[in-house]
Each structure stands twice: as C-alpha cells, then as structure tokens.
Structure 1
C-alpha cells in the first residue's frame, strides 16, 4: 500500500469506551489519539459510571504500546499488530493547535478533537484523515466544521442494513408439504420430527421457525448438518393454543414467541418488534407460568438500562428495587394487566411478586454476579451496547433462562443506531447457537389506536 492510500483515523473517546482495543482494528493505517481523549479517559476511569472499566482497559492498552517509547516516537507513531504490520498509533498534542472551531462552549473537548482533525487534514493532504466517532451529533458537527471524512466504528457491525436482520422465521409460498413431498418422519412421544434436504430451506439456522402460507404447517429447526435438517412439527393450531398464565397468542408471531419462551431447552430468547406487539407481557406471563405454576425456576429477575445509558440511578430514595421501579413501569403495568380481572388487583400483584420472588435489579450491579435458577427479563435492551449485553448474559449460570426484548425503532442512546445496537449484535451472533431463539413480533396488538399510530405516524 502506498503512502497516499494509507489513512489517518482519529478516534473519539466513545470509540475506546465502546471497544477498548479498537486501536488494533485499523491494520495498515495510522491511528491518532488526541490528548483530549486521554484526558477524558482519565476523568471517566475514576467515575462510578458503568464505562469506567472500559476506560481503564483502554488506558492499559495504550500504556502497553507507549511504555518504552520516547516523546518523538509517541508523536510519530508506534507500529502495532503482528509481525510485519505497518499500522501505527500516535498521540497528538491537540492543546497546542490553534482553534478554528469554537462552537458549543460546554463542549471544549469535542472542539479540540475537531480542531485536531482539521489540523491533520490540512497538514497531511493528500492522505485521507478520518474522524471515527459513535456520537451521531459529533459526526454532524464535524461535517459542518469542514471535516471531509467522518465515520462510525464499523468493525463490530455485523450487518449493513437493519432490514437484513433475521426475523427468526421463514414463510414459504403455498403449502410446505407440496414443496417437500416425501420425507423421513419420526415420532417420539408427542414430538414429531421431519428430516428434509438442507436446500429446501435456504439460509436456515438452529431454532428458526418455518411457516407456510396455507396456514397449516409450522415447525422449528432442531437439528441441521451440511445435507439435511430436522424440523420439529408444531402446527399452527398448536402454536395458537399455547397458553402462559392465562395469556394466549393473538397472532402467529406471538405463538412462536410463547413456544420459545416455554421451551426449557432454549436458554436465550430474543424478542424484537414494534411498540405494542406484546414483547413484555408474553415474557412476564411465561416467567410467572414457569416460576409459580411449574416451579422450574426459583425467581424472576427484571432489569433494564436506566436513561443515563446504565451509568447511574441517581439519588432516588429507597433500596435498589425501589430505585428501579420508575424505570420498570412497563413491567408493573404488565403485572397489573395480567391480574386486572382479580377481585383485588393490588393484593394479587403483591402476592404474586412475593410468590414468584420478583426482583428488580439495575444493570449497574450485574457485573460479578452469578445468577442461578432464575428467569431473567432484560427489557428495552435496544439501548445497550454489545459489551453491556455480554456483561449481563455472561452472568447467567446453571438453570437460568434470559429473555432480551427491545424495539430498534426506539433507540435513545446518542451513540447507537439500529445496526450498531447490542440487540442487533446478539440477534446475529446467537442465531447459530442451539440454545437460543429469536422472534420478530410483527403486528401491534396493544390497541387499534396503537396499531394505527405505529403504521401512520
């Protein structure tokens, strides 16, 4: 690669918080870390925020690169990577650069980073200087300030368009049996398994649901190899008659979700879909059914990120559970809806919360725990990064089932988009894992008002 083709990638602070080892991801190109980024990492590493650990990891990675380097080598760049690598990492003293961007007085750090990019852009022409940041508004500001090349961090981006995200099911035209014809069928108790050629179902994976337009066949992939796949015959009628805590599916998508939620062989269920499609109520109904009625789990743990991207739950009074209640209104609303016909709704809710041992936990305090024999519900996880979701999922021990639900159209984080959300990441990463299932709940069932709003606003 010629020098003109080598690029300079200037990393914003949030890149190193998102992926502390991002400095190793640019191969033969040159990475520049502005001094302002180090200042911000230093401030964050001592904070009580959830990302403080990532800040410390990033600092240690940089220290490992520069520990024996001279000041001149640090400014020129140190080669990183495997033997034969040509990419470098350098630190730019951006405090000494004359300011050309002075907007947003409360964003002095962002201004210095933008000035550093503009300085390099002028000094290093014709080589490309690219600002890499996950802050969407920072990308807009950079373009407005005259930065020619601005990108999101895409190394961990598994798909280019959220429309390509797997929905967890396939629908065939016409009748499935007309398409398949003869196949090997085995019966074991109440379970019927069909073995069909792998090419009959394109791009399939474990626990994917298979439907047809004839409103008859419904199955789930329970085994596959290079030549064949096994389908567990469920049938649409059986799917639509599954029941959990008095809740029955209102459409086939909810039927598939309930089937996955009630299957003890599936450890992770991922539910995606628009607001009002039934993600939370199905998860809670399945949890109560399996904890209270069947005794399969000892407790229900409900958690979600707080509005500050899981960084703080502030100074609200009370215990951890009481602090979390304002953020878990959707769950308490769901419990109320499940018991609205009881003689005393409040009494029923208090009884059930005690009987099912429902615990409300903050994402902040999940690190380091080991959760055994629990049904875990992680709500609104479209606002979590892949790292945060990994922290939670790796807490799950023996006998624990976790349900991750979210709506990619309702991302509140300034650093995430639908394709970089942790929810998208785990849907793609876990689709070939035999212990997980993902279902996109198509259709709003909350009310005709909610359905109209989802479709027309």
Structure 2
C-alpha cells in the first residue's frame, strides 16, 4: 500500500531528520511548514538549531531535482514540497480562521479527498506532535499519527536499574558468607552491568539482601559503600541506598537517577558530591547546572550580573545547599560557597565548547534536555570526571519533549549495557507525606 505522510512543523522542529523515517513512502511538506520553520531559524536554542538543520537538509535535495515535483530519498521513498492543494473551501465552514495549523490540515485533507476520488490503494496520513491537531484531523475523517521515532521506549517500560528476586535460603546464606553469588546462565541475558538485585528468601521475605551485578555480568556482589552518613544525610529506602553506592563508585563515570519530586535525588547527589570534593578530594571541583526552561509563563529578562540572573533558576539547588550547610540566610550560603571555591553553580547555556576534566558534574532537571543537548554535555566530559543526570520524566516543561523522548530517558536506555554507567529509578517520596501524596494523585 502506498502512503503519503504530510508532516506538521513540530515534527521537523523536534527531529530535522524525520523525513528519512518513513521507509519507501512519500513525504510531503506543505509550503506553510517551510514558512514556520523559517520563522524559527534565528532562535538561539534547540528549536532554532533544528530549524536551521531542516533548511540545510531540504536544500541538499534541491540538487536532485525539482522539489515541487518530488525527489527520491535514500530509503526508497520520495520528498515533495506541496504548493498546490491549498484550497480552504472544504474547511471554511468548519474552521473559520486561516491559521497555519488549518492550512496544513487543508493540504492533508485535499490530498486525502483526491486519493479517495481516484479509488486506488493509497492512504494519506498527517504526522503531528500536536494532540489537538490530530484530534482536528480525526474529526475531518483524516488519519493522523504522532511521530514516535524519537522515543527511547514506546511504552512505560523504562529501565529501573534494579530487579527483585526470590532466592533459596542457601543461596542467600552463601551471598552473606562470601559476598558474591553466581548468576544462573538462564538469567544472565536479563541483567545489565551495575544493575541491582534485591534478593528475598522465597520462604521468608523479611530476610533479604541487596547486591549489584558485577561489570563482567557473571556475579552479583555486595555493595561496596561503608559510609552510612553523608554530610548529615542517611538513605531512607532501598533505592536511596543503591543511589549512594553508585554515587561513590569511581568506576561509574555516568549515573542517571529518575523519580518523582521529593524522592531525594538532588539532595543525595549534592551531599555525596560535597563529601567527594571537600572531604575525600576525589575531584577538583563540583559543577552543578540545570537547563533554563521556565514553568508556565517566562518572567522575561532579569537585572544584574550573570550570578544574579541565574539565582532564580538555580534556587532549588541553593535550597538543598542551605539544608546541607545548615544556614538560615542566603547571604551566609554565598559566603560559604565563595570561601570554598570548589562548587560552581551555573546554567547549561554556558557549557558548549568547554572541556571538563577531573570534576563531578551534576545536571538537575535533565528531563528538559533534548537528545542533542545531552550529547553536547556528555561530549564535554574530560578524563577523571563523573556526570550525574537527575530528573523526573513526568514533569516536562519543554514544548517538544515528552516522558519517552527526552534526553534523560535516551541516556538511561542507550547506556544501560555499559559498564561505565549506572542507573536508579526512585519510587518512594521522602520529602513529606503531602509531597508524596501530591506526586501520586496529581
């Protein structure tokens, strides 16, 4: 069956290479989409970058022929810029305003009606990240799909970083005695390096132990961490214990931690970072950063120097530092940080082009990063450094991301096979009973 895919602007602004994702079928880009892409190309953010990259990709295809007639794609399909089929007569009684969205709908609908008239084995599908755009298409009898090619996982099947097993009493006793347990051959393929296993006695579930898969994948071994109090912070549940183990492992160069608000991700990471930098001197400096993505309406330009401008964005970090340093006033914290000199708090805006060796890099709210932005960060990491990515995929503020296609989830899924990385998914909130209830109910 032949299929014509009509692309919405948001698909290209999320992934400029989306035109290569439709196999041997025809890809149609309405002229109004080019206008919208052009309006974004001067943006100095990820959307602007993708708009410019989309323009470059389409421009390269001009050498293959006339884009309005269609040019071949490498995968056997074709690409066409649609200049016709713009008539608004079929939509004028339903959607009165000639918005750009409605103009894209008009192109897709007119192509669909033309195919129906010819009665051949051909379908027209509108591809859009905009939910209401797909709803409007459905109301018009036009098939519409979300663009899912950028998703790291297709359903709520995100790697959690640990498993729960029921084991025999003698196996558990052997683990307590020797500190290791050989992984049965039948289970090796289901485990990843540095993945945790919560082992429970099959006849007495109250008897349990936590082990971690060795990097060779053959054994489960006891956790190495012997520190119980990290700058006044103690683990309150199994996942926090797992996280601290990975936070202090020097061989783990990349650590991801995901979970709902209030599960303790940021506090644990900051506390362990301070101990490793200030007390153990394992790293020269701790760099703490978070993406500048507003929740709700932006507050506009802020007065002052760079540090003053960043303060509102970095306030969640400072809140945790005030708790760890046990200070009551922001001025006292500023004096402590300036005196230490080994803690740097800044926005991710300034990381491109840097090389960061022998530092502990903590990136908070990483769910608001795209795959391209995460790649930019990780390729800055120098020898002897460790990077920690924290976030809640359920709280996305970026307009073109969701809980399955953001940069944090891409890192979790792509690096789970690597012996250099570790991951923990938090479930239980520890901030307060109200915070946990709100995270669950809302």
TM-score band by shorter chain is 0.7 to 0.9
- By how many angstroms is 1:57 displaced? 1.8
Q: TM-score, normalised by structure 1?
A: 0.85
Q: Distance in 2 between matches of 1:282 and 1:136?
A: 37
2:284 counterpart residue number: 298
Q: Distance in 2 between matches of 1:445 and 1:34?
A: 50
| 1:251-286 deviation per Cα after TM superposition (whole angstroms, max 9, x unaligned) | 111010111111111111111111110011011111
Q: What SS does the aligned partner of 1:128 have?
A: strand
Distance 1:19 1:254, change over 3 A: same
- By how many angstroms is 1:94 displaced? 5.8
Is this contact kept in 1: 2:182–2:220, CA < 8 A? yes
| 1:274-305 deviation per Cα after TM superposition (whole angstroms, max 9, x unaligned) | 11100110111111111111222222222222
The answer to whether 1:326 aligns with 2:312 is: yes
| 1:122-168 deviation per Cα after TM superposition (whole angstroms, max 9, x unaligned) | 12235221222223343334334x25222222223232212x11110
The answer to whether 1:93 aligns with 2:115 is: no
Distance 1:343 1:29, change over 3 A: closer
Q: Distance in 1 between matches of 2:28 and 2:172?
A: 57
The answer to whether 1:363 aligns with 2:356 is: no
- By how many angstroms is 1:330 displaced? 1.3
2:148 counterpart residue number: 154
Q: Distance in 2 between matches of 1:215 and 1:316?
A: 56
Q: Distance in 2 between matches of 1:52 and 1:441?
A: 34
Pairs aligned (count)? 428
Give the 5 Å matches for 1:205-354. 205-213=192-200, 214-224=206-216, 229-234=218-223, 242-307=228-293, 314-340=300-326, 346-348=331-333, 350-352=335-337, 354=339
- By how many angstroms is 1:201 displaced? 5.2
Counterpart pick for 2:377 among 372, 392, 399: 392
Q: Distance in 2 between matches of 1:136 and 1:381?
A: 24
Distance 1:422 1:245, change over 3 A: same
Structure 2, unaligned stretches of length 5 or more?
A: 201-205
Q: What SS does the aligned partner of 2:149 have?
A: coil
Is this contact kept in 2: 1:223–1:231, CA < 8 A? no
Is this contact kept in 2: 1:50–1:364, CA < 8 A? no
Q: Distance in 1 between matches of 2:47 and 2:316?
A: 26
Structure 1, unaligned stretches of length 5 or more?
A: 187-191
Q: Distance in 2 between matches of 1:270 and 1:202?
A: 22
